[in-house]
Each structure stands twice: as structure tokens, then as C-alpha cells.
Amino acid sequence: MQSPKGIWISLKMSFVGKKAVSSVMLGIPYNHTVETPATFFLVGIPGLPSSHLWLAISLGAMYTISLLGNTLIMTVIWMDFTLREPMYCFLYVLAAVDIVMASSVVPKMVSIFSSGDGSISFNACFTQMYFVHVATSVETGLLLAMAFDRYIAICKPLHYKRILTPQLMLVMSVAITIRAVIFMTPLSWMVSHLPFCGSNVVLHSYCEHIAVAKLACADPMPSSLYSVIGSSIIVGSDVAFISASYNLILQAVCGLSSKNAQLKALSTCGSHMGVMALYYLPGMASIYVAWLGKDTVPLYTQVLLADLYLIIPPTFNPIIYGLRTKQMRKRIWSLLTHCLFDLSKLGS
């Protein structure tokens, strides 16, 4: 039987614990004795457990295409010294970022959908969140750089090599990466330092920051507000400059006297515009549905849109560039036939 002193200590500890949690709820600086969960549990697609197997197969196939396609793009550009133009250098970095973005979420998604293993450690969850934030920010910056490349190539062709020097390309790549790190590091940091003293079940298939922040015992509004402002600044400015670039490109193309020249110029921009549509449209749909339609759109639709936003661009980017860019198509075919010929010689 517990002594009166022991009962008093238990009551006091219970009162202190409740007071700490209440302080958190009210937004008062919380007591750091609140324990954070060692792991989170990702449920996958809430409300669609019967579709998890098909999702695992589909995502696995798309991830395989993404890895093979982007690795092939990087290998061709690395091995072929004729592909040292700025556009292909940016494409090389884009392929690397696509691999990072897909690899940060898809293997865990496939594990959840195929085996139901949704557990992820606290540190791994926020590491995944950080890589997703930085990769998506770098990708939108690369799309802006590629739009700038097409603008110079079509509107100022005689000054192309003088303007887009290797030094400028390096500065642009470094600036894009630094911008992503500066803007996105505070977001992951803010969410990871929220107190988590309740449920550890994340209603998502990856550590999406809004889904994780909802589990906190404190008000997640500061991190959510920072997310909206930060993404609006980055994506808004990039889309504005990309739109301005293509507006000037279309004006220049319409001013060309030759129809063949017009078609050639538009063809070189077609792949870029396709990639941008694949990146921005699912992203915008995911954001608008999460913020504006959260009371009317089912949760599984919101989660599916967020998942597709991270896997569609890495899967289709290499297909678009590999099939639509004649120079890339020739180099890829040459590399594949060379490899097949070497394998046939080894087999014989």
C-alpha cells in the first residue's frame, strides 16, 4: 500500500503534468519535460486500405521508371561531351533532384502499402520532411533556370555563350540550393520542435508537415503560416519569372518569318512546358485542396494528390526529355545499343 507521502507526490506529479499540457494548449511556453514520441505511425491513404496493394504496385513501378530514367539521363549527359550546354547541365541536376525527391518518400510508401509497416522514427520523419521541402524548392528553381536558358537561346541566340557562361551556371545552381536551404530549414525545425504529447498516428503516407504538425499539443499556426508565406514567395516569384520568360519567347517566335523556324523554336520549349505543367499543376491542386477544400474533399483525395505531386514529376521528366529532345533521344539510343552490343559479345 502506498504511503500518504507517496500519494501526495503522485498527485503533485499528475498536477504538474496536466499543467504543462494545459500550458501548451494555451500557447504558454511549455515544460520541456513533455516527452516526444520515439516513433510516428503513417497510416498510408486514410479510408482506402483495400487499394493499398494496387498503390504499392503502381508506386513501385513508377519509382523504378524514375530511377532508371533519371539515372540514364545523368549517365548520357556525363559521358557525352557534346552535351555540355547549359540546358543539359540543368537537366542533369534536375534528374539528380528527382531521384532524391522520389527516394525520400516512395520506398517508405511502398512498405506501408505492401506490408502495413508505417512506423518511422522521430528523427527519420523530420529528415524525410526536410528532404521533401528542399528538393521541391530546388526543383522549382531549376525550372526557372531552364526557362531563362530557353529565353536566351531563342531571344538572344548570338549572345548565348557569352551570357550563359559556366561561371554563371555555377552561381545559379548554388543560389538555387542556398535559397532552398535558407527558406526550408526553419520550416522543418519549427515543426520538429513542437511538443508532441498525444497521438503519434499521422494521417498521411509520408511525413507531410501539416499532417505531422496537427499532432502537436501546441498551436501549429506559426509553422503553417511560415509554410504558406515561404512557398508563396518561392513558387510565386518563380512562376512569375517563368511566365514572363515564355511570354517573351512567344513574342520572339511569332516574329520569325520562317514557319520551320517557328516550329523548331516551339518544339525546343515544348518539353520544358510539359515538365513545368507536371510539376506545378499537381502541386497547386494539392495545396488548394488541402487549404480550401479540406472540409468538402475527402481526406484520401488530399493524401493521394500530395503523393502524386512527389512521384509524377520524377517519373515523367526523363520520359519527356528523352522522347521530345532529339539530341537526347539519339544519345540514349546510342548508349543503349552500345551496352546491348557489349553484352551480346560477352555472352558469345
Residue 188 lies in a domain: yes
Question: Which CATH number covers residue 93?
Answer: 1.20.1070.10
Residue 30: the pLDDT is: 39
CA 158 to chain centre: 36
* Residue in this structure with the C-alpha cell 521530345, named with its chain if needed: 324
Residue 202 lies in a domain: yes
Rounded Cα distance between 95 and 232, Å, is: 24
Estimate the crossing angle of helix 166-192 against helix 221-254, to 10 degrees: 160
Q: Give DSSP secondary structure letters for 100-123.
A: HHHHHHHHHHHHHHHH---EEEHH
Nearest to 102 by CA among 308, 321, 311: 311
Contact 213, 194 (CB under 8 A): yes
Name residue 94's amino acid.
Answer: L
Residue 7: the pLDDT is: 36
Residue 61: the pLDDT is: 95
Q: Which residues of 211-240 are buried (b: 16+ CB within 10 A; e: fewer)?
A: bbbebbbbebeebbebbeebbeebbeebbe
Residue 165 main-chain phi, psi, to 5 deg: -80, 160
Q: From first to last of its 348 residues, what are the pLDDT tens digits of the chain?
A: 444 444 333 433 333 343 333 333 333 343 444 566 788 999 988 887 778 889 899 999 999 999 999 998 898 888 877 777 888 888 899 999 999 999 999 999 999 999 888 899 999 999 999 999 999 999 999 999 988 988 898 888 888 889 988 889 889 999 999 999 998 999 889 888 888 887 889 999 999 888 898 888 888 788 878 887 888 888 889 989 988 988 888 888 877 777 776 777 677 677 777 778 878 877 777 766 666 656 677 888 888 888 888 898 899 888 887 766 667 777 777 777 777 766 666 665
Which stretches of the chain are DSSP H helices? 4-25, 52-79, 86-115, 122-155, 160-163, 166-192, 209-213, 221-254, 259-292, 299-324, 326-347
Residue 204 main-chain phi, psi, to 5 deg: -160, 170
Residue 135 lies in a domain: yes
CA 118 to chain centre: 20
Residue 26 lies in a domain: no
Number of domains in the chain: 1
Nearest to 52 by CA among 119, 143, 116: 116
Cell of 3: 504511503
Residue 318 lies in a domain: yes
Q: How far is CA 61 from CA 68, 116, 148, 293, in A?
A: 11, 19, 33, 30
Residue 14 lies in a domain: no
Nearest to 151 by CA among 166, 163, 168: 163
Cell of 184: 526550408
Residue 268: the pLDDT is: 67
Contact 282, 136 (CB under 8 A): no
Residue 1 lies in a domain: no
Residue 242 lies in a domain: yes
* Residue in this structure with the C-alpha cell 517508405, named with its chain if needed: 108
Residue 283: the pLDDT is: 72
Domain that holds residue 242: 39-347
